[in-house]
């Protein structure tokens, strides 16, 4: 599953969106760092992490809302349903869907995955820079607001989502510490 996810993400992102591909690689690397707290779900998270932004790929971007486009594409491709749901709901996607008038559509098509995995994907995505490096959730939220602008749809969404992003990352950090792993500051 993980190897196929990497191949698919690379095929969709590497050439048309190299920066997005670097980000996805970084997010997947962060996912691997969570193995001590995820057990059998670690491979599932890594697959979702490397695939989380494929909805930006020109070949599959139909609605302009990448979590929904990515989830729909992966479902059509027969990818594990838990991976599909994680991709479709990654990083507080329901809040952005609400800004876009797509909340009911996203929620109906893609139920939320287990809270621990949802938190883990938020942590991985929101502690990874656009170029695949490490950052804090505060730094990542600020970067997104700076890139899109505070009054844009994405800027408004990420500011609304920030408390949940920070809380989710905090829960992951607490789990890592409890497992004796030193996490990156969030």
Structure tokens that stand for 147 in this block: 């890139």
Q: Which helix (H) or strand (E) holds 43?
A: helix 42-51
- For residue 92, tell me if it sits in a domain: yes
pLDDT number for residue 119: 97
- For residue 133, tell me if it sits in a domain: yes
pLDDT number for residue 145: 97
Statement: residue 184 has pLDDT above 70: no
- For residue 115, tell me if it sits in a domain: yes
- For residue 171, tell me if it sits in a domain: yes
- For residue 107, tell me if it sits in a domain: yes
- For residue 173, tell me if it sits in a domain: yes
**Structurally, how many domains does the chain consist of?**
1
pLDDT number for residue 186: 55
Residue 184: helix, strand or coil by DSSP?
A: coil
The domain in which residue 149 lies consists of 2-178
Are 87 and 74 contacting, i.e. CB atoms less than 8 angstroms apart? yes
Residue 182 pLDDT grade (very low, low, confident, very high; cuts 50, 70, 90)? confident
- For residue 20, tell me if it sits in a domain: yes
Statement: residue 12 has pLDDT above 80: yes
Exposed / middle / buried, residue 9 (Cβ in 10 Å: 0-12, 13-18, 19+): buried
pTM: 0.94
Are 88 and 122 contacting, i.e. CB atoms less than 8 angstroms apart? no
CATH of the domain at 37: 1.10.3210
- For residue 55, tell me if it sits in a domain: yes
Note the pLDDT tens digit of each residue in 158-169: 999 999 999 999
């Amino acid at each position: 599953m993980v190897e196929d996810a990497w191949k698919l993400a690379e095929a969709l992102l590497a050439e048309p969106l190299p920066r997005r591909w670097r980000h996805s690689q970084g997010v997947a690397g962060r996912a691997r760092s969570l193995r001590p707290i995820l057990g059998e779900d670690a491979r599932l998270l890594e697959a979702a992490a490397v695939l989380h932004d494929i909805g930006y790929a020109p070949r599959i971007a139909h609605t302009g809302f990448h979590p929904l486009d990515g989830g729909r594409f992966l479902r059509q491709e027969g990818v594990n349903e838990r991976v599909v749901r994680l991709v479709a709901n990654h990083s507080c996607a329901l809040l952005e869907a609400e800004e876009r008038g797509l909340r009911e559509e996203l929620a109906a098509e893609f139920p939320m995955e287990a809270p621990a995995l949802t938190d883990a994907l938020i942590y991985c995505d929101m502690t990874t820079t656009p170029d695949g490096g490490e950052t804090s959730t505060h730094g990542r939220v600020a970067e997104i607001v700076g890139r899109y602008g505070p009054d844009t749809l994405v800027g408004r969404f990420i500011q609304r989502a920030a408390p949940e992003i920070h809380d989710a990352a905090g829960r992951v950090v607490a789990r890592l510490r409890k497992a004796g792993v030193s996490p990156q500051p969030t």
